[in-house]
Amino acid sequence: MSSPHLRKHRSQRRGGSELIATLLLIAMVVVAAIVLFDFVTGLFSNLAKGGPSALVSASGEMTVPGSTSLSAILTLNLRNEGSQPIQSISATCANPPFSSTNCNNIVMDYGSGPVSPANPLPINALGSGSGLVLPTTAFTAGTTYLVELTVTFVGGSVQIVAVSIGSSS
């Protein structure tokens, strides 16, 4: 049998352990709340800067002289549907069938000149450009080709847009 004094001592120890466990649990909840708050405010900050919400829509067409040709005219259009103006747009043509230096000569224009930090593409505005493109083998009218546009927004966010380009003669 245990004495009443011994039982009282064990009861006090349990209470102390429960108090420590409760304090630890509260501390973990506070830390989790701080981490969650930091994540949410960082997410909203990125959205306001034109991060994940920075969207564009793009389209294009390619005119091939005749049914096949060793050159074509590629025309690209891009609408800024994001939350920040666009400061640069560069096009990259998928290889093959394009030659390795293609699309570098296509300059996307807005208003009086090329899209640039000095002439950004505003929100909801349309930029366009066209240029001669050359294949490694002949282009064929009626074929769909792939072009990637790399869009850089004011503030530094970047979005890459894949554009399927239909071709016609």
- Position 122 confidence tier, pLDDT thresholds 50, 70, 90: very high
Most confident of 4-18, 30-44, 114-128: 114-128
Buried b / exposed e along 7-21 (16+ C-beta atoms within 10 A): eeeeeeeeeeeeeee
pLDDT digits over 81-114, tens only?
A: 888 899 999 888 876 777 766 677 788 999 889 9
Q: In what order do the strands lie in the sheet with 158-168?
A: 86-93, 144-153, 158-168, 56-63, 72-80, 126-133, 109-110, 113-114
Q: How far apart are CA 148 and CA 153, in angstroms?
A: 16
26-76 residue pLDDT tens:
989 888 888 777 776 665 555 444 444 448 888 888 888 888 888 888 899
Handedness of CA 42, 48, 49, 55 (dihedral sign): positive
Neighbours of 160 (CB within 10 A): 9
55/116: higher pLDDT: 116
